[in-house]
Chain A
Amino acid sequence: MADETLDASGLNCPLPILKTKKALSKMDLGKVLDVISTDAGSVKDIEAFCNQTGNKLISTTEDAGKYIFTIERA
């Protein structure tokens, strides 16, 4: 279960990444954030973001055009 959820539905690049960054920076280490996005580009981008920042991408799921990224703050 995620500790926080960020709904970035309807937003386009780079807003999902910027909002994810802001949400994570307010969270404690080890806490889990769910990001909901409708931007198909965010599949690659969230992965790249986690690669560069060291945050852990636990899972990516897609359901009817909605992507849910589960990220652990590191």
Chain B
Amino acid sequence: MSDNNKMTIIATKGTFDWAFPPFIIASTGVAMDKEVTIFFTFYGLNLLLKDTSKLRVSPIGNPSMPMKMPFGPKWLQKIDFGPKIPNILWNIPGAESLVTWLMKKTMAKHGVAKIEELRSMCQEFDVKFIACEMTVELFGYSKDDFIDGVEFAGAATYFDEAADGDHHLYM
């Protein structure tokens, strides 16, 4: 183990798809003997909520997302509907829920862990979760909205956490 074994992540995205990278990298970091802190700010705060059922993946303005059916005949599963469906159709109520549901199905089929599973694995591995106090207040959250074990602090605390490390990621 090197002396510089500390790692920090700044998590700023709060959509269902972007909830995965911080927890995957953080938990793997600890498995690789790193000491990891995640600083959640702005929309990243969503990843710490007790209720993650509101996390959605948006098909609007998300042209890179492949849209393939997780079930049905093989030829159907190969078709990427993403570029075929006009963006305007995604404004139909329920489109976001449908796409999120399909992504969850696809992930389950591929043996990808659930957000809650990765998050609790992080906590079990002693990943430090810091929620940005300013944005907690800004967005009108109550501290009870968040899971246990979250610290509330600001940017200066992030720098204190980052001081001894040499591995810092912005997500």
Spell out A's residues near B (CB within 8 Å). Answer: 10-15, 17-18, 20-21, 39, 48-49, 52-54
Q: A39 — which chain B residues lie within 8 A by C-beta?
A: 111
Mask: chain B, 110-152; 1 = CB below 8 Å from A; 0 = not: 1111000010010001000000000000000000000000000
Binding site for A on B (CB under 8 A): 1, 24, 27-28, 30-33, 110-113, 118, 121, 125
CB distance from A5 to the nearest CB of B (A): 18
Contacts across chains A and B counted by CB atoms under 8 Å:
37
Q: Check B32–A14 contact: CB distance below 8 A.
A: no
A-B contact pairs, 9 of them (CB 8 A): A11-B111, A12-B111, A17-B31, A18-B28, A18-B31, A20-B31, A21-B30, A49-B31, A54-B1
- Indicate which residue in A15, A17, A54 contacts B111 across the interface (CB closer than 8 Å): A15
From A11, A15, A17, A48, residue with most partner B Cβ within 10 Å:
A15
What are the nearest 7 A-B pairs in CB distance? A21-B31, A12-B111, A14-B28, A52-B32, A10-B111, A11-B111, A12-B112
Complex Cα gap A11–B112 (Å): 6
* A14 near B111: Cβ-Cβ < 8 Å: no
- The distance in angstroms between the C-alpha atoms of A13 and B24, with both chains bound, is 8
Identify the closest chain A residue to B27 (Cβ). Answer: A18
Q: What distance in Å separates the Cβ of A71 from its nearest Cβ neighbour in chain B?
A: 13
Flag if B110 contacts A53 (CB, 8 Å). Answer: no
Q: Is B110 in contact with A12, judged by CB distance below 8 angstroms?
A: yes
A54 CA / B32 CA spacing, docked (Å): 10
Note all chain B residues with C-beta closer than 8 A to A18. Answer: 27-28, 31, 121, 125
Determine how close the nearest CB of chain A comes to the CB of B31; give it in whole angstroms: 4
Most buried by B among A10, A11, A18, A48: A18
Q: Inside 8 A of B111's CB, which chain A residues have their CB?
A: 10-12, 15, 39
